[in-house]
Amino acid sequence: MSTATIIPLGWVKQADDLDSLKPATLLWQLRSDLNRSGGADAKGWAVFVLHGEFESNAKHYVVHVHGVAVDDMIDVVRDLAKLPKYESSKQRHPSDGVVQRVRISRELLSNMPSPLTYLAKSFWPARWLGTITRNGLVYVARERVSRRIPEPYHARWLCWMDRWDWRDMVLLYGVHVGKNGLVAR
């Protein structure tokens, strides 16, 4: 079992475009990409939950999924990085600020169930991303502490979230919810 964070190309949305964001569309795109990476034939399962972070300087939302993958699905998630919209950026300053699009844990999960509850956070934080110049070199800096999304963006996010059901934010791949919990296919 491994955890993953996935930020496909095109999932960074300007604050003014939040209303046009449809969770089901994003998750169906991810499902299709998992199929292209061999997920349809893989043993195991995965669960992904839609999440986002507001980048205060650029005034955009970095929409992504947090997930957990089991057995062969770990390799399927890793293979997403071979698809063009999941390739890590070679540039120091990619246009949308995302350098690594697929991050997957390499260590065994411990302190259960904490890594699993991390998938579904109850809020979207705000952080700034900027550059710092030292000795003539430019470094990308990201705020370490998350904070509340500033107004009026926070109110707009709350209104957007109110439009959706919890099930709209979750992609179950190779697993479904049964009477006693998750049931693998």
Structural domain harbouring 111 = 2-184
- The single-letter code of the amino acid at 106 is R
What is the pLDDT at residue 22? 96
**Greater model confidence, 97 or 150:** 150
Our count of domains for the chain comes to 1
What's the predicted TM-score (pTM) here?
Answer: 0.88
SS (H, E, C) 138-149: EEEEECCCCECC
What is the pLDDT at residue 39? 93
pLDDT band of 29, cuts 50, 70, 90? very high
Pick left, alpha or beta for residue 48 (phi over 0 → left; psi -120 to 50 → alpha; otherwise beta).
Answer: beta
Residue 132 has pLDDT above 80, yes or no: no
